[in-house]
Amino acid sequence: MMRMLVFGHGYSAGFLTPLLLAEGWQVTGTTRGATDRVAQAGAEPLRWPGQEDAVRKAIAQADAILISVGPEQGADPVLAAFGTEIAAARPRWLGYLSTTGVYGDRDGGWVDEDTPCTPSTRRGRERVAAELGWQAFAAEHGLPLHIFRLAGIYGPGRGPFAKVRAGTARRIVKPGQIFSRIHAEDIAQVLLASIKAPHPGAIYNVCDDDPAPPEAVIGHAAELLGLPMPPAEDYASAEMTPMARSFYAENKRVSNHRIKRELGVTLRYPDYRAGLAALARAEGIPA
């Protein structure tokens, strides 16, 4: 039996675990909070911080390790806490979930995995530092590291329908603004494809085929629900939290050619229309 250890078994890992179980894997996942969500996905939960000895045992037994934990205070917590154990375990596959935020602002232009990282936010800079840390660690110890730069994640429970129904959805319009997205189920199938066909040292952009303005997604959700279109708000004058406004500081189109070429992935949801239609069907909304 093959064993996967997921550091930070959260939303995205919840879609990967059932795929691994179907392939005969055993999955263990760490969590800071309630363990029930990890268990519901089919993984054995470990609390970390808290169960360090059990985590070390899981590392030693793991055939594959996925890091889905963000940087903390400028450092990667998994590497800091368990780097020695991971190096000794020598897993067959090692994955790190990063973000397309590492590319920074490209004024709406295209980026691919060979585009230099020029992050424009603190979060992006911390992710670049984490990537470099894992790359140096993998090179030093000869580990098969794979980096996955995820676009904006959506899926069941993370779609726009609830906000549209509640009347709290906002169509913030910033002319020329483009975001790339990815459905959580497609993240899972990309990860599974990589586990089955490792390319040590590879970096993959994980996004759909259709970068689109954020207001278009909200508008389409309203159409599917048969509800009035939320009014457009000008970005320059809209009241927003600093966190929300920071997302509009970066404008780029992200290429996903590599996941198709190297991993043979066919996206289930190649654009937000297909993704929202599936979410609508799951909620019993005609789409």
What is the model's pLDDT at position 251? 96
Q: Which residue has the tokens 């037994």?
A: 61
Domains observed in the chain: 3-157+182-209+255-270 (3.40.50.720)
pLDDT tens profile 124-149: 999 999 999 999 999 999 999 999 99
What is the model's pLDDT at position 91? 98
What is the model's pLDDT at position 287? 59
What is the model's pLDDT at position 32? 95
What is the model's pLDDT at position 243? 84
Instruction: Pick left, alpha or beta for residue 201 (phi over 0 → left; psi -120 to 50 → alpha; otherwise beta).
Output: left
Q: Which residue has the tokens 């279109």?
A: 229
How many angstroms separate the Cα of 209 from the Cα of each of 57, 256, 263?
40, 7, 16
* Helices 77-89 and 122-141: angle between axes, nearest 10 degrees: 20
What is the model's pLDDT at position 160? 93
pTM: 0.97
Ranges in the chain, pLDDT < 70: 287
